[in-house]
Each structure stands twice: as C-alpha cells, then as structure tokens.
Amino acid sequence: MRFDIITLFPELFAPFLASGVTRRAYTSGQVQVQLWNPRDHAEGNYRRVDDRPFGGGPGMVMMIDPLVRCLAGIRRARAEAGEAGPPAPLVLFSPIGEVLDHGRVAHWADSPGAILLCGRYEGIDQRFIDAHVDVQLSLGDFVLSGGEIAALALLDAVTRLQPGVLNDAGSHQLDSFNPALDGLLDCPHYTRPEVWQPEDGQPAVPVPEVLLSGHHAQIERWRRTQSLGITARHRPELLERARAAGRLSAADEAVLAKIG
C-alpha cells in the first residue's frame, strides 16, 4: 500500500511517521508514504505556488501549474515503482467531500493506496480539481488551515487496520463503529488500581465488579449493555442504523427498553 502526499508542509508528517504504534508499518514499508512539495515543481527564483484570486477577495489560491507538474512526477514515480492496475486515485480534502467514517476508512485500508492532496490558503484553482481530483473527503463540518491534519487522520485510521500493525491483531475489531460491534460505540474500559481514591477526598471509585469476576459470559453481557447505553445516550442515530440493518437482537431491545 502506497500513499503519495502533496503538501507544502512535509515537515508536519515526520514526527507522525516515526512515532506511535503505527510507525512499524511505515518503517517496514508495509504502508509506504512519499511526500511531495509542489514548491519543488514551481518555476522562478521564488518558487511561487500561490497567487491572488481572480475577482478579488481575501487570501491566496494555490496555482494550477506547480500542482500539475507535481502530480505528473508522482505518476512517473509510481509507474517506475511498478504500479499495477489503474492509476491511483487523487484524493482532495475539502469541505464538500464525503465525511470520512469507518466504512470509508475500511475501503481505503483494503486498497492499494492513493495520492492525497493537502490544500492550503483559500483553496486550489478549480481547474486542477475539475481535471484531476477523483475523490473529495471531509473530516466534518468545520474548516482547517490545510489538508495535512485530515491526511494524517486518514493515514492513521487506515494503517491501524493493516494486519500485524497493532500489538493485538483483534484490537481494532472492538473499536467504536466497527461492524464487530454492529456499528455501535465501544464500552468503557478500566485498569489498575482496582479502587481509585480521588485526591480531593471524594468517595473511592472501584472498577465494576463484573470485570473482576472472571466470568466471561457475564463480562460480555455487561460490555454489550454498556455499549448499547452509551450509544443510546450519545449517538442514537447509530442505534437506528443498526436496528434498520437487523443487527439488534431481542436481548438488545430488552436492554434498550429498560434504559428508556
């Protein structure tokens, strides 16, 4: 799997690629990441990559020519590396894009990779988008200063789904939104100490007794009940989606009826 990232700030990616549980995927080459700066493909002494927008208005717009040359360089590099099949899709992070969710992450995790375009300033010359962009993605209804954070989010989400990346191969199966949880939110988790004493003198807070019982069936029922309750309180639309898909059992519905 290979991701080529077009960014004016490649230095933002270096700490991410060298730290955390996913770094083994990058250092081993299981997930290849190549960084490309459009400024390296700009002309003139100043290597200019942006200019004022036609029609006036605030801010600057990323110019089309450096991006075209940068993309051509990526296509050549991928071809020389033996890229098979259709050309890698060019993904732009944009407010008009489809919101990135678990289903879309799973799709990219099962793909050969993509070219990720991180915009900056007021945006990118629309002619480049019309001519070259295949997919637009968004993290949600808010605006970032650039696409780098969105690209990092996609990389992290995709990489942790790769075989062998996490210490426990089944860890991501219990993540919120995962089909293994029927698309619901995950349950709470606890670790040592078994009883926590707040420093402000408030009453001691123990770990739920069932988690210390060693009774796996009871633990699984408790976790499912917690998952249902948390989802009902915080993301009820996920419950409706699971119900419409036939993923909720009669026991689940009984739990939800008690929750009210």
Checking if the pLDDT of 174 tops 60, the result is no
Q: Which amino acid is at 257?
A: A
Which pLDDT does position 21 carry in this prediction? 85
Q: Identify the structural domains of the chain with CATH numbers, from first to last.
A: 2-159 (3.40.1280.10), 175-259 (1.10.1270.20)
Q: Which of 2, 10, 4 is nearest to 148 (CA)?
A: 10
Q: Which residues contact 47 (CB under 8 A, 6 or more apart)?
A: 39, 40
- Biggest alpha carbon distance in the chain? 70
Q: Are 40 and 34 in contact (CB under 8 A)?
A: no
Q: In the structure encoding, which two tokens stand for residue 148, read together? A: 């780098």
Residue length of the chain: 260
Which pLDDT does position 119 carry in this prediction? 97
Rounded CA-CA distance 62/129 in Å is 11
Which pLDDT does position 37 carry in this prediction? 98
Which pLDDT does position 166 carry in this prediction? 83
Q: Which amino acid is at 220?
A: E
User: What is the mean predicted confidence (pLDDT) over 189-198?
Assistant: 96
Q: In the structure encoding, which two tokens stand for residue 25, read together? A: 């995927």
Rounded CA-CA distance 114/134 in Å is 10
Checking if the pLDDT of 195 tops 90, the result is yes
Q: How do residues 94-115 score in pLDDT, each as one tens digit?
A: 999 999 999 999 999 999 999 9
Q: In the structure encoding, which two tokens stand for residue 72, read together? A: 């051509």
Q: In the structure encoding, which two tokens stand for residue 18, read together? A: 């060298």
Can you tell me whether residue 4 is helix, strand or coil?
A: strand
Confidence of residue 158 (pLDDT cuts 50, 70, 90): very high
Q: Which residues contact 153 (CB under 8 A, 6 or more apart)?
A: 100, 139
SS3 sequence, 71-113? HHHHHHHHHHCCCCCCCCCEEEEEEEEEECCHHHHHHHHCCCE
Rounded CA-CA distance 122/118 in Å is 12
Checking if the pLDDT of 161 tops 90, the result is yes
Rounded CA-CA distance 150/92 in Å is 10
Q: Which of 196, 193, 217 is nearest to 205 (CA)?
A: 196
Q: How do residues 3-52 score in pLDDT, each as one tens digit?
A: 999 999 999 999 999 999 889 899 999 999 999 999 999 999 999 999 99
User: What is the mean predicted confidence (pLDDT) over 64-70?
Assistant: 98
Rounded CA-CA distance 38/250 in Å is 56
Rounded CA-CA distance 138/136 in Å is 7
Rounded CA-CA distance 76/80 in Å is 6
Checking if the pLDDT of 168 tops 70, the result is no
Catalytic center residues: 95, 122, 160, 175
